[in-house]
Amino acid sequence: MTYQKALECLSDPTRRSVFEKLRSGPKSVGVLAKGLPVSRPAVSQHLKALKEAGLVTDRADGTRRIYYIDPHGLGEMRRWLDGFWDEALAAFKDQAELVNQAHRKK
Amino acid sequence: MTYQKALECLSDPTRRSVFEKLRSGPKSVGVLAKGLPVSRPAVSQHLKALKEAGLVTDRADGTRRIYYIDPHGLGEMRRWLDGFWDEALAAFKDQAELVNQAHRKK
DNA sequence: ACAGTTGGTAAGTGTTGACTTACCGTAAGG
DNA sequence: CCTTACGGTAAGTCAACACTTACCAACTGT
């Protein structure tokens, strides 16, 4: 029901970069910000959004915060997408056949 | 390689509505616009974006244009998501175990 | 040919949201 | 303690973009 939030979150290129950096494992905010063309506070804000969308979780480590991917949000998107996929594929095949028939009639 | 475009496209609620209306089968622009809280030109613009993202295709029918879902864009998203899924799930389990161990040490 | 329907495009506007700098809280180490 | 490292939050700015109205092009039927 919240695949919407996940989609909106991942539509931003910077946020996607942050998220994809976490693909190789948990990272602190500072590490995530390093290498990105935006400031550290910006990354913090993106992480907040990602967290609210259920895409990441965090854990304290002294004065650091370690972020890592949360499969929850990803799972919601996957379910939504899979449901679409089957239905859409079938509809598309019907469509292709219709076009073919029309073509043949010429 | 263009899952980015698909994500950006589907992040807009109105555009998502249009797209999801197509789930039940091909529809004309007018039919799609009917029931939505925006004007028909707005729907046209959304359809253009969806088409450029490889999410829909269209076909002429007299003065009408029939739009229907194109599995292409959907497939790109699915591939990207699936790759993420496996990796993220494994990493998350490692993470959960780490936390558990730390807990037990108390 | 003309009138009516359908839909794409242009131009303008308002709002959202991604970013910045500045500031504050908190944990570790001397 | 006092300092240093790390991150979250506040406030303000600027551009992107979703929407509107107005207009135009194309096909259909009478």
Q: What is the pLDDT of residue B30?
A: 96
Confidence of residue B106 (pLDDT cuts 50, 70, 90): very low
- Between these two residues, B89 and B96, which has the higher pLDDT value? B89
Q: What is the pLDDT of residue B10?
A: 97
Q: Report whether pLDDT(A95) > 70.
A: no
Full DSSP string of A8-64? HHHTSHHHHHHHHHGGGS-EEHHHHHTTSSS-HHHHHHHHHHHHHTTSEEEEEETTE
* Highest mean predicted confidence (pLDDT) among A102-106, B51-55, B81-85: B51-55
Whole-number average pLDDT of chain A: 88
Q: What is the pLDDT of residue A59?
A: 95
Span B37-80, pLDDT tens digits: 999 999 999 999 999 999 999 999 999 999 999 999 999 999 99
Q: What is the pLDDT of residue A106?
A: 37
Span B15-29, pLDDT tens digits: 999 999 999 899 999
User: How many other C-beta atoms lie within 10 A of the C-beta of residue B100?
Assistant: 10
Confidence of residue B95 (pLDDT cuts 50, 70, 90): low
Quote the minimal CA–CA distance from B86 to chain A in Å.
Answer: 9
Question: Residues in chain B whose beta carbon is closer than 8 A to a beta carbon of chain A?
Answer: 4, 7-8, 10-11, 13, 16, 23, 25-26, 59, 68-71, 74-75, 77-78, 81-82, 84-85, 87-89, 91-92, 95, 99
Q: Report whether pLDDT(A87) > 70.
A: yes
What is the rounded distance in angstroms from the CA atom of residue A87 to the CA atom of residue B19? 13
Q: Which two tokens stand for residue A63?
A: 């004065």
Residue B49 CB closer than 7 angstroms to strand D?
A: yes
Beta bridge partners of A102: none
Q: Is this structure's pTM higher than 0.85?
A: yes
Q: What is the pLDDT of residue B87?
A: 82
Task: Name the amino acid, one letter, at B2.
Answer: T
- Between these two residues, A97 and A62, which has the higher pLDDT value? A62
Is A71 within 8 Å of B77 when comparing Cβ atoms? Answer: no
